[in-house]
């Protein structure tokens, strides 16, 4: 189980590059199920969740290539689902990555049959997929839940999903993506309302349109899809990871540094940039793909409340909370999207932060003197929060279970060391079987 040894106190200086967006790559890889042709995806991040999805697709019969580390194509993935010999997403894979549910819609649309293990909960909440199921049933799929699996069929309606009118009870990112993919091959028109507007939804739609899908309105809350009989292959470059970019902006601010975040898309970061500016750092968009953050030592208390895009992203809540521990005054951090996304709080408290949680709101009394400690990573973004706190804490911190980090951040310790951080990865035992 890898650990990070981090010695705090270094302002970050220089330029740090962002990788492709994990949360766009995952649905785009699943979209390859919709065609027999090869789909080539570029700017794919080399993170665990991508490796998990490659394993999942291969287990269903897909040919998966590319991404050989060190080769020119090491950030490229080639997927060809000519034959789906086993349209099953097995529990041993799904339990390690709930986003595996993204294969449900494409499998039903392409093969008329899918067996997908129920994802189960995770550290940040129950993570149900009832809205995915409800939408597919409205498109005519017959879905049975048994033995921890969902089994979906369309034979009773002639083997092809039917276009319909879907209104999401709640805004769901992967729910929107799952049903958008299913609708591309459905018979007739599908109108989806109360959709997620995240850039990752827009990126998926861009790929699907390149594959021949007929989609209007991606990025708005209303998406209209005209089903087609077949989709063909395409080549597509994944958008930059806005959450990784936001994490690095906070890293520059919390360490009082001068950091340029390159290879990002500033237009995806409006709410995050505004809040880091409100906290007192100077943030400048210096080009179409670069943002510069400069901060002194004084940061101001700043409240955040997580909302669906374009509001302040839940995936940046933990990282921003670390920043507020250094701000002068009291900040309120409210988590509206997930029911248990404060796992980082107790670890930050062990480093000296003053945080009290009441319901969905954490009250952070800032200007805390953080000291290095042995802390435990619990989920992807909580891990990022602990890295940020350790970068500013006095002395050395040991972060255990960094495999959580590796799920969504590509070589983060190398990237941060490249701009002055002091981080060492210590590998002294195999990662546990993913719980």
Which residues contribute to the site for ligand EPZ (CB under 6 A)?
Answer: 23, 26, 99, 125-132, 170, 172-175, 314-315, 337-338, 380-381, 408
Which residue, 131 or 321, has its beta carbon nearer to ligand EPZ?
Answer: 131
Q: Which residues pair with 333 in a beta bridge?
A: 304, 362
Distance of CA 170 to the CA centre of its chain: 18
Which residue, 269 or 370, has its beta carbon nearer to ligand EPZ?
Answer: 269
C-alpha–C-alpha distance, residues 376 and 396, integer Å: 14
Write down the catalytic residue from 28, 76, 81, 122. 122
Smallest gap, in angstroms, from Cβ of residue 145 to ligand EPZ?
13
C-alpha–C-alpha distance, residues 11 and 284, integer Å: 18
Smallest gap, in angstroms, from Cβ of residue 294 to ligand EPZ?
27
Contact 416, 16 (CB under 8 A): yes
Contact 404, 379 (CB under 8 A): yes
Q: Is the dihedral of CA 52, 67, 60, 81 positive or negative?
A: positive
* Structure token pair of residue 147: 């033995």
Q: Specify whether 417 is catalytic.
A: no
**Per-position DSSP letters for 250-269, written without gaps between them:** HHHHHTT-EEEEES--GGG-
C-alpha–C-alpha distance, residues 124 and 136, integer Å: 25
Which residue, 26 or 245, has its beta carbon nearer to ligand EPZ?
Answer: 26
Smallest gap, in angstroms, from Cβ of residue 381 to ligand EPZ?
5
Contact 181, 30 (CB under 8 A): yes
Which residue, 3 or 381, has its beta carbon nearer to ligand EPZ?
Answer: 381
Smallest gap, in angstroms, from Cβ of residue 348 to ligand EPZ?
18
Which residue, 26 or 33, has its beta carbon nearer to ligand EPZ?
Answer: 26
Which residues are catalytically annotated?
A: 122
């Amino acid at each position: 189980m890898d650990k990070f040894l981090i010695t705090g106190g270094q302002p970050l200086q220089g330029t740090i590059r962002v990788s492709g967006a994990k949360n766009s790559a995952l649905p785009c890889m699943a979209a390859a199920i919709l065609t027999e042709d090869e789909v080539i995806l570029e700017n794919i991040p080399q993170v665990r969740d991508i490796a998990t999805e490659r394993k999942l697709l291969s287990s269903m019969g897909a040919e998966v290539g590319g991404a050989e580390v060190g080769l020119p194509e090491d950030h490229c993935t080639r997927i060809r689902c000519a034959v789906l010999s086993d349209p099953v997403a097995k529990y041993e894979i799904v339990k390690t990555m709930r986003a595996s549910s993204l294969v449900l819609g494409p499998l039903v649309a392409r093969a008329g049959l899918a067996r997908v293990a129920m994802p189960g909960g995770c550290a940040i909440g129950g993570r149900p997929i009832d809205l995915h199921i409800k939408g597919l049933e409205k498109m005519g799929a017959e879905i049975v839940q048994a033995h921890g699996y969902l089994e979906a069929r369309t034979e009773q309606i002639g083997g092809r999903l039917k276009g319909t009118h879907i209104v999401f009870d709640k805004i769901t990112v992967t729910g929107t993506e799952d049903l958008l993919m299913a609708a591309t091959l459905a018979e007739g028109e599908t109108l989806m309302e109360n959709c997620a507007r995240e850039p990752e939804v827009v990126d998926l739609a861009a790929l699907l349109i390149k594959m021949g899908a007929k989609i209007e309105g991606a990025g708005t809350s209303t998406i209209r899809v005209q089903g087609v009989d077949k989709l063909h292959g395409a080549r597509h470059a994944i958008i930059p990871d806005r959450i990784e970019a936001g994490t690095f902006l906070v890293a520059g601010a919390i360490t009082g540094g001068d950091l340029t975040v390159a290879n990002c898309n500033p237009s995806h970061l409006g709410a995050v940039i505004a809040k880091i500016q409100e906290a007192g750092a100077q943030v400048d968009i210096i080009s179409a793909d670069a943002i510069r953050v400069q901060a002194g030592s004084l940061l101001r208390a700043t409240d955040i409340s997580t909302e669906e895009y374009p509001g302040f992203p839940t995936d940046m809540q933990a990282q921003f909370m670390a920043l507020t521990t250094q701000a002068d005054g009291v900040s309120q951090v409210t988590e509206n999207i997930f029911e248990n996304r404060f796992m980082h709080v107790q670890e930050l408290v062990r480093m000296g932060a003053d945080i009290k949680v009441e319901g969905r709101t954490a009250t952070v009394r800032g200007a805390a003197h953080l000291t290095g400690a042995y802390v435990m990573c619990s989920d992807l973004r909580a891990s990022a929060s602990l890295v940020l706190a350790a970068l500013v804490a006095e002395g050395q911190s040991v972060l255990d279970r960094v495999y959580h980090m590796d799920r969504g951040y590509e070589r983060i310790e190398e990237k941060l060391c490249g701009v002055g951080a002091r981080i060492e990865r210590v590998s002294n035992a195999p990662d546990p079987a993913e719980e």
